Chain A
């Protein structure tokens, strides 16, 4: 098949707030329901200041590791787990999801939540991952984490909170800059040669 060149992305801009959010957009699970947890954190810029106009989407397996194909994310019935949600940051740069712990899709692999970040001032979307912190052996065996230096690796691993929830912050730039992912390579990666990243 012919290879086509993908369209470029553009910033989500400042005015998505009346268009992209919807009722229960951040509730993959009903708050307080069995197995539900809070996933939350702050999105910050290169000065460490919170970003009040970012929007995050998550996409994850169910608690048993199944990748679901259920519709109904936009009009939630309160019972069906669709695996996908969307959360805007507020004035304090904080986002919150209610979800479940994703299960391992195969025995021994480290469970993670796939994340995409959009913001005013961000010219293109950024992909990343939030790993569960619980299984040290699985984390040690993860190919992506193994390819990162220790201080960068930690940006992809959420922190377990006393109430069972997950804390995971996003730093777009600067100290503790989150690792963002390129799935396509080279010219599709925002104008940077990604081949030498490990150095």
Chain B
């Protein structure tokens, strides 16, 4: 970066707070509620040269954009939904189940679609050559999973709770624990990559990536809920996270609307 010195967390938090209070004032004055992250969010330093300066251009989705690529059981084995069975031994950490539904903006289940996740291990370390954080690699944990949603849009992963990890955005910057989620909808326009967080994380107010979503209600949509019904006795703790994609732009056939046509579009 061009900064002669790294900002402290205190300086970073002041930047985050200034933007947050400006946004609250704007909403109070009748301004738009922003439900997506700001592309131009300077506290996340890497975004400074990587955000478009021109407004996104409104387009009506056409033909190919109104459909989505198809994924199925040739693509993904059911075993890929369990991140704890990839190696010979059990990974270190707190075993968890993360389960929920993928829905479109009209509340319809997104059936037969691909969900991909990746995450750090319990110590906050990724199996990635660029992760130099001096925390232990777990030989029994890779941290990559996939599944295909059920006819009701449901997905479920068994994994371990990821640790927080440091990064170099500013001095003493730490990411709240999170799982990266990549999701496909029924239409290409619904494609999204996001991150799921855990309730009550003390790092939320300090993190420029989480705070790039300036609206509190919108940020809350990325936080899973602890759910004891998803917890298994003497085995794992359960978290629920339902994911809503953008609304459908295609005119649906009756069969599609009933969710009977999860993997095909014609």
Contact = CB atoms under 8 A, between A and B. Distances in A.
B19 to A, nearest CB: 10
B118 A123 contact: no
B193 A9 contact: yes
A185 B58 contact: yes
A122 B51 contact: yes
A61 B65 CA distance: 10
Contacts of A138: none
A1 B195 CA distance: 27
Contact of B118 (A4, A6, A15, A187): A15
A15 B128 contact: yes
B36 A187 contact: yes
Interface in B81-131: 103, 105-108, 114, 116-118, 120, 126-131
A82 to B, nearest CB: 6
Contacts of A194: 55-58
A79 interface: no
A193 B56 CA distance: 9
A114 B64 contact: yes
Contacts of B246: 6, 183-184, 188
A164 interface: no
A15 B131 contact: yes
A197 B263 contact: no
Contact of B55 (A16, A121, A193): A193
A140 interface: no
A9 B192 contact: yes
B63 A109 contact: yes
B52 A177 contact: yes
B32 interface: yes
A194 B244 CA distance: 22
A182 B56 contact: yes
B188 A173 contact: no
A19 B116 contact: yes
A172 B75 contact: no
A98 to B, nearest CB: 17
A75 interface: yes
Interface in A133-178: 143-144, 147-148, 152, 172-174, 177-178
Contacts of A10: 37, 180, 193-195, 209-210, 212-213, 222
Given A5-B221, A19-B144, A173-B53, A190 B39 contact: yes
Given A82-B69, A177-B54, 7 more contacts: A7-B244, A8-B35, A14-B167, A20-B116, A67-B266, A181-B56, A188-B35
6 contacts: A10-B180, A67-B64, A112-B64, A184-B189, A192-B55, A193-B55
For the complex of A and B, 10 pairs with smallest distance between CB atoms: A121-B46, A19-B118, A84-B69, A71-B72, A182-B56, A74-B75, A121-B50, A46-B49, A123-B37, A105-B63
